Structure 1
């Protein structure tokens, strides 16, 4: 049912060229902040930025590095994944150094992709004599000299990226619920994917994906067409051994953007890590439905300390920034709760499609304000006058009032809880936007 796609901008390049620094500068300057509470943000690997009024996913391809796990894509894999999933490829090189053969090779492959490609010579503050002509050897037409320290060239880069963003619409598939299976390697995505297809489901058709990054299967459950998107699908014969799978934030983003509800899979033998928390953050940022799925329940021979209530409590603490997410314990081997995943996803879909009348919404707002007047920052006293629902995908509510920029994050969180309690939005992200009434 999701019919829009936010374009993806991938930052690629060798180590120490400033990908993360540029990511942070663009994020700090151009992030579209709506109802973000303190303490919920984690180290970002991808985030939605506002480029001159146009939303885009900005992805730091080096942002997934875990010192104990081999998750950071190699330089070759970065460009492969960018070619697969990104709409704009930004190749960063050092302005203070000479172009290397690797830089030229990356540029050549990026240009062959037929995607929009931008060359960014970063750290120009370390080489004030650098000019665009020094980087023509990359073969890329659009070249920008930038410095994240002095902000030189940043505004020009932002303007170019904004003008290059494609207007993307996903092909509408009628009343089809799209569910993405997400998670780190070896948590059981493919096993659950196959179990969902086989157990109590009638296969309708196999669909070749329009991109190479996601396996798809169209099935029918309880008279509802459901398309399953499995991000574990890429295996290049001869290059990747059986069972070996790299995590890709680009691949994951593509699936999240296309889906209505996301299943975040966690192996019961290895629960929440920073990777899973980051994926949940991406789902929240995208405004999708979310179900945390505990897999491989059958592998626990000694369940002392692993009872479902104890695990639930632990996960609610680990994922306190998405307290609304669903939670279910499964086994692809025994079939435990496999069908219930689809039941829960359908319920979340129905909640997301609610259209709240303006009168009901404002009765809810008036009750909230009466019970708990708005709290402000810097001794300011904001007020909220009225609210409207502006979208169902994701459920988005716009609040109008005075001095709304001073609303405390805790009050925004209070309003979100109030909406969830009043209108039963369990299982899905909500977007709250606050605007000054003129």
Structure 2
């Protein structure tokens, strides 16, 4: 691989004077958001309404916890309670003729957040756009395509014929196939690139072979979710555009995760989710299976008791653990965001430890809740009180002998991508009001 790398252009940094005024604007608008309810209902009335809103959200979270941890009548009473708590606070604000205040306050807070993130944006400048390397086009590319992935995207986008027209040898999966053996045989036969049109689980298996033999790997976003393709900046709406990498591509170096003896490109999950996906009924009835199994898993009556060792952290009893190949940016408590880079040489670790209704109520604090743990580490060891632990690896259900060790392999994989592609989503900067305060005062920030 050439020594010189092409560095994709990054947005110009925000001038310090602009940062200062944006941070001041954020505080000004946030102050206005705080004053609107006080002016509309008075200090006492506003505090009572705010307290009622917080209590209602906490009650809804507790009721949701009961919904997930119980069955039959208690489950459905809990669902009704969760909805009723939120409706009650809405009615309370409506009776106090404060709905307009909620709308105005929410709009102001959104404006304050937008100004704050704009001020902080260039603190992550350079965090996107991994170095690209000019390398010769492959002469004998070998692509594995799963016609069932993504609801039939391989046929819908005519990927087989398009790839063959570009000189690639294509193996279309039929029946049960040892994908790892297939990829290794292709390398022995002279393939100088391995690629996959399929889900992330299949991508990970072939990526491990490519890294093992030092040949470049190519991703074609023909799966359902295509998380790996998203973070590589590929077009997920039209997987045929990914084939441009064969004729006009560049290479980037990315890390790989390893859990036990298995490679992962996205993440390995432990706890409730990993146990649920082991069920033979999960594929055909995801929601029903999840609701049926969660009560025992979350109450500790079913599933393994986990102990996580990551860096200096020793965490006992988490209900769910996610170990990712580089940390995710979280857009909300309900789902993962994206990974701004895949070459940080570090694992992301997210653990949720909710042991009862009290912890569920504390989740109103979001990521700051003590029920939510988020760190990074280069090695993670998960112990359990069972000899074999359910693990979800890039969406695939596995059983691995305990303890389970997760590691990161920095720059282990050469990935060939199209020169022109949408690009990885730029993460929103995390609002840090302490940093914004220093910016507003004109002090230097790190």
Instruction: Report the TM range for the smaller structure's normalisation.
Output: under 0.3
By percentage of residues, which structure has more helix? 2
| TM-score, normalised with respect to structure 2 | 0.23
| TM-score, normalised with respect to structure 1 | 0.24
Instruction: Answer 1 or 2: higher relative contact order, Cα 8 Å, separation at least 6.
Output: 2
